[in-house]
Amino acid sequence: MAAPVPEVKVRPVHIEFALTQPANKLSVRHLGKVVWTGEARDSSAEAEFTIPWPPDGVDLRVQIDWPESAPLAAARLRLTDPEGGEQERSIWSAGPADEVLTFR
pLDDT tens, 13-64?
999 999 999 999 999 999 999 999 998 878 999 999 999 999 999 999 999 9
Residues 26/96/33/12 CA torsion (nearest 10 deg): -40
Q: Where are the domains of the chain?
A: 10-103
**Is the confidence at residue 74, as pLDDT, over 90?**
yes
Of 4, 71, 60, residue with least CA distance to 37: 60
The pLDDT value recorded for residue 5 is 67
As a CATH number, domain 10-103 is: 2.60.60.40
Q: How many whole angstroms from its chain centre is CA 81?
A: 11
The pLDDT value recorded for residue 39 is 87
Q: What is the pTM of this model?
A: 0.90
